[in-house]
């Protein structure tokens, strides 16, 4: 899903990025061998890029969710928001790094039932949080907690929502092209 309006801001590069954004782009280049198109677009607003990367790292490091669960959270939010870029990127990360079973990733991508009860409960709760703007019903919270998650993890879902809102909405407005590295998992909302 792309915004009807496309921002006219050109993607930045390491060479022409604001000095506040440049270190983030350089770090991505060193770690991944390329700078994702999303970062290049977000670099137009260094505070946006910084906030996204900081929140993303905090979620990855301290959410209490496993790597598989983290990808489920990010994929569900990105699907709910219709972000083609993040669906492609997180599908590849799910496959290659987080070791999410492909049938789980594909179920999320296709809007089908997830073949794992605990991950299905997580996905259902995250979808409710997106759809209801953080206003889950008691029964939905109880189902989430009953699946083995904690109240603290409800707040960690809020962090993931904030992070993905930044990236999903930026990609909608910038019409961010999917990087070649993620193209094999391209997705259309």
Query: What per-residue confidence (pLDDT) applies to 38?
Result: 98
Mean pLDDT split into 10-residue runs, the chain, 189 residues = 94 98 98 97 98 98 98 98 98 96 98 97 98 98 98 98 98 98 95
Distance from the first to the final alpha carbon of the chain = 6
Handedness of CA 28, 25, 180, 186 (dihedral sign): positive
CATH 1.20.1290.10, domain 66-185, yes or no: yes
CB contact at 8 A, 138 and 104: no
- Provide the pLDDT for residue 1: 77
DSSP structural state of residue 16: T
- Measuring CA to CA, which residue among 109, 121, 72, 82 is closest to residue 184? 109
* pLDDT value of residue 87: 98
CA count, 13 A, side-chain hemisphere, 37 = 20
Give this prediction's pTM. 0.96
Determine the Cα–Cα distance for residues 39 and 93; give it in Å rounded to an integer.
16
């Amino acid at each position: 899903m792309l915004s009807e309006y496309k921002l006219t801001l050109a993607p930045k590069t390491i060479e022409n990025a604001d000095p506040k954004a440049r270190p983030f782009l350089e770090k991505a280049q060193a770690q991944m061998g390329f700078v994702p198109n999303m970062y290049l677009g977000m670099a137009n607003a260094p505070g946006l890029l910084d906030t996204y990367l900081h929140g993303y790292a905090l979620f990855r490091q301290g959410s209490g969710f496993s790597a598989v669960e983290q990808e489920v959270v990010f994929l569900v939010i990105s699907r709910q928001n219709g972000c083609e870029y993040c669906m492609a990127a997180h599908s590849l990360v799910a496959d290659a790094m987080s070791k999410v079973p492909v049938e789980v990733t594909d179920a999320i991508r296709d809007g089908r039932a997830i073949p794992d009860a605990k991950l299905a409960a997580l996905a259902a709760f995250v979808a409710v949080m997106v759809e209801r703007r953080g206003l889950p019903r008691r029964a939905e919270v109880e189902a989430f907690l009953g699946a083995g998650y904690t109240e603290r993890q409800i707040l960690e879902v809020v962090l993931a929502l904030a992070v993905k809102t930044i990236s999903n909405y930026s990609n909608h407005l910038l019409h961010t092209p999917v990087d070649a590295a993620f193209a094999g998992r391209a997705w259309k909302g």
